[in-house]
Chains A and B, each alone.
Chain A
Amino acid sequence: MLELEAERTRGSAALTLMVYDVIVGGIAHRLELEKSDSGWKCQLDGKEVHVDAVLPRRDVLSLLVDGHAFEVKREQTATDLHMWVGSTRFAVEIRDPRSLRSRKGGVVDEKGPRKILAPMPGRVVRLLVAEQAEVEAGQGIVVVEAMKMQNEIKSPKKGIVKKIVAAAGVAINAGDVLAIVE
């Protein structure tokens, strides 16, 4: 039904109806936005809401919903999309229901080898375990220093340290593999 109504040509001014599935805090909402002469016609989960929105600058939205004013900020990280309504953060996923694809990546496998990644750029200060050591979940593996702070990077699971890639004194980037625990 939505497919029939949707008439979306991205990049042109002729868009009329946009349909999104928006997941906020694990709950999916169906959002339909239609451009009209006087602003936007909005249906949220089948219910009509009066919405007006202006983008005063990139990533900041002044949103009026039935007369209530909200300043909403958008923050994108490499992994997440967040909407900050006032000072409350919502993790949001937005998708076009007509281009659903199978989800890939991001699945955490409790079995099998796990890479321990540097959460931030820094310098390896010291190693806390040796290869082949048995470690518990949450046990410190390496110490990384950034911004004058030393931080223990911990094992995500119980297992054997298969490989230690990090070496003391070496500069690392966020996302670098420090060790592998299996």
Chain B
Amino acid sequence: MSGLGVDGLRMFKKILIANRGEIAVRVIRACREIGISTVAVYSEIDRAALHVRKADEAYPIGPAPASESYLRMDKILDVARRSGAEAIHPGYGFLSENAKFAKACVEAGIKFIGPTAHSMEMMGSKTRARQHMEKAGIPFVPGTARGLTSPEEAEKVAEQVGYPVMLKAAAGGGGKGMRLVHTPQELRSALESAQSEAQRSFGDSEVYIEKAIINPRHIEMQVLADEHGNTVWLGERECSIQRRHQKVLEEAPSPIVDPDMRRRMGEVAVRVAQAANYTNAGTIEFLVDQQKNFYFLEMNTRLQVEHPVTELTTGLDLVHLQIRIAAGEKLPFSQSDVTIRGHAIECRIYAEDPDNSYFPSPGKITVLLQPSGPGIRRDSGMYEGWNVPMDYDPLLAKLIGYGTDRPQAIQRLQRALYEYFVAGIKTNISLFRRILRDGDFQAGKLDTGFLDRLLTKSDPDIAARAPEPRIAAIAAGMFAVLDPTSSASSSRRNGNAADMVPACSSWKQKGRAEALR
């Protein structure tokens, strides 16, 4: 292994993290571990955010809306220059896959920790990526590599690949601009609505067509490439548990991938990365059908939210490696050194209300009890007393369970979820309890429709698992006696909220006041 400095290279002294939330904290921690000082940036509403508290330096970059702060390249580069940061880690989201930003960093003489603008541009558009990858012999779902020019063309292509087909926005992501079409009669109106949604969401109405794979799995492969031509794969992540096309739970390895399939997927992923002259950490997403055929879907040119499951099963620290690669080091290991050991599962803890269609639930965290113990990793951006702003993604934290095998990882996560408690805002913690005790989940029978099916099922176990309500009754009384300063004291009038909860945020009180009018 070549240590730092062996190649005659100088490690960065200072890195700016152009992000917020748990990922900014994650990168700050990695920097502290390897002796690099950190510069945080924050919007007005994020002054008290955890990443600002954890960094060595922090500078404001504008008002709460991301377009006026975390997406402002000029302001971020200005902070980097003034603070003397030599590199910028973009995290995920925000500017992480913005080729213009990567280019602007180069022009400013600041290292962008990620791929080059050129690689990003090549992989950024799904249709352009497809054209390049088809040349490299990468397996694709049958369909068009180009945007559709007319409804007639759409009909022709759909006929060729066979219904059902999927319409997808070329610039898309997150399920926007996607339509599943079962019959030729639905095609035209679906195309129109997909195009207008793509235009609204991405400023680009280009839509292409693919054969729809029913109940596919979504499995992705992590790759890492240095700037000396070495590219390795680090194993797959199963990401089939999704809601509205957003990942909710991920695991490594996938329950259905055996060593041979892993090697084949890994080799394809490395070919994709090499065809794009890719450097740094990246992820190749595949759709996998019921016969375990895998098809290239897209490449994510950034560190992924779910990178910890790969870290736990490979024993590698991807953020350390990203930084070392950006500093010009060679990969300190080769493909044959990579081994997959144990099993890891990640739960994305979101601020959303499971009892109210998973609506976002910003607000003040009044109580936070966090799990720890064997096999539990928690990457969190929240703390008790913090006000979760409404302006950003609802991801609060990631809870990751690791075990010798999948059953043990599940057991440890179940134990940790039992310990996890967040009050003041709503979270989806209860959803993970449901997923983890589901028979199909435990059997590894997963596909992208899993969660929608689970949510339409009733939850028959609830009554059976509930401890006696009398415990709740006794507890309510004991709270009233022991902690009478709050609303649970005996002075509370039945159900009237007007005199309650000093800790409650003003918007909730306002909401209540309105409701009572």
Chain A 87-126 residues near chain B, CB threshold 8 A: 87-88, 90, 92-96, 99-101, 103-106, 115, 117-122
- Asked if A127 is at the interface of the complex by the 8 Å CB criterion, the answer is no
Residue contact A92 to B473, C-beta cutoff 8 Å: yes
Known: A88-B467, A175-B514. A75 touches B367 (CB 8 A): yes
| B367 in contact with A60 (CB, 8 Å) | yes
- Contact partner of A90 (CB less than 8 A), chosen from B430, B469, B496, is B469
Check: A182 CB closer than 8 A to any chain B CB: no
Binary interface encoding of chain A residues 51-68 relative to chain B, with 1 for a CB under 8 A from any of its CBs, else 0: 101010011110101000
Report the Cα distance A124→B381, complex, angstroms: 27
Chain B nearest CB, measured from A60 CB (Å): 7
Collect the chain B residues with CB atoms within 8 Å of residue A72's CB: 471-472, 475, 479
Known contacts A53-B478, A73-B421; decide if A78 and B473 are in contact (CB<8 Å).
no
Q: How large is the interface on A (under 10, 10 to 19, 20 to 34, 35 or more residues)?
A: 35 or more
In the complex, what's the smallest C-beta–C-beta distance from B250 to chain A, in angstroms?
A: 19
Cβ-Cβ contact count across A and B, 8 Å cutoff: 236
Contacts of B496 in A (CB 8 A): 103-105
**Which of chain B's residues 489-517 have a Cβ closer than 8 Å to chain A?**
489-497, 500-501, 503-504, 507-517
We find that the number of chain B residues with CB closer than 8 angstroms to chain A is 70
User: B472 near A76 (CB under 8 angstroms)?
Assistant: no
Residues of chain A with a CB closer than 8 A to B517's CB: 115
* Bound: A88/B433 CA distance, A: 11
Specify which chain A residues have a CB less than 8 angstroms from the CB of B421 in the assembled complex: 73, 84, 87
Let me know if B487 is at the binding interface, CB within 8 A.
yes
A99 nearest in chain B by CB position: B493
Contacts of B356 in A (CB 8 A): 119
**Do B487 and A61 have beta carbons less than 8 Å apart?**
no
Kindly report which residue of chain A lies nearest to residue B392, judged by CB atoms: A147
- Mark A9-52 against chain B: 1 for CB-CB distance below 8 A, else 0: 01000010010101011010101010000001010110001010
Interface string of B250-269 (1 = CB under 8 A from A): 00000000000000000000
**For the complex, is B457 an interface residue (Cβ under 8 Å from A)?**
no
The answer to whether B515 touches A146 (Cβ under 8 A) is: no
Asked if B490 and A96 make an inter-chain contact with CB atoms under 8 angstroms apart, the answer reads yes
Which residue, A44, A60, A88, A115, has most C-beta atoms of chain B within 10 A? Answer: A88
Q: Which residue of A lies closest to B424 (CB)?
A: A75
Say yes or no for A1: interface residue by CB 8 A criterion.
Answer: no
B388 to nearest A CB, angstroms?
9
CB pair B491–A147 under 8 Å, yes or no, is: no
A176 to B508, CA, bound (A): 10
* B477→A70 contact, CB < 8 A: no
A151 within 8 A of partner (CB): yes
Q: Is the CB of B497 within 8 A of A88?
A: no
**Identity of the chain B residue whose Cβ is nearest the Cβ of A8 in the assembled complex:** B490
Tell yes or no: A132 within 8 A of B by CB: no
Question: Does A95 lie within 8 Å of B479, measured CB to CB?
Answer: no
User: What is the chain A residue whose CB lies nearest that of B467?
Assistant: A85
Whether A81 touches B487, Cβ cut-off 8 Å, given contacts A20-B477, A94-B477, is yes
Shortest C-beta distance, A181 to chain B (Å), equals 15
Contact between A29 and B514 (Cβ–Cβ < 8 Å)?
no
Complexed CA–CA distance, A95 and B490 (Å) = 6
Any A CB within 8 A of the CB of B135:
no
Of the candidates B430, B481, B488, B513, the one whose C-beta lies within 8 Å of that of A81 is: B488
15 A-B pairs whose Cβ atoms sit less than 8 Å apart in the complex: A31-B473, A40-B478, A59-B479, A63-B478, A72-B475, A73-B367, A75-B423, A78-B504, A85-B471, A85-B472, A103-B494, A115-B514, A119-B359, A120-B361, A173-B510
Residues of A within 8 A of B (CB): 8, 10, 15, 18, 20, 22, 24-25, 27, 29, 31, 33, 40, 42, 44-45, 49, 51, 53, 55, 58-61, 63, 65, 70, 72-79, 81, 83-88, 90, 92-96, 99-101, 103-106, 115, 117-122, 146-149, 151, 173-177
Q: Which residues of B line the A interface, CB within 8 A?
A: 351-352, 356-357, 359-362, 366-367, 369, 390-394, 417-418, 421, 423-424, 429-430, 433, 465-467, 469-484, 486-497, 500-501, 503-504, 507-517
Known contacts A95-B493, A147-B393; 12 additional CB pairs below 8 A are A15-B481, A31-B476, A42-B477, A58-B483, A61-B479, A70-B475, A103-B495, A105-B516, A122-B390, A148-B392, A148-B394, A175-B514
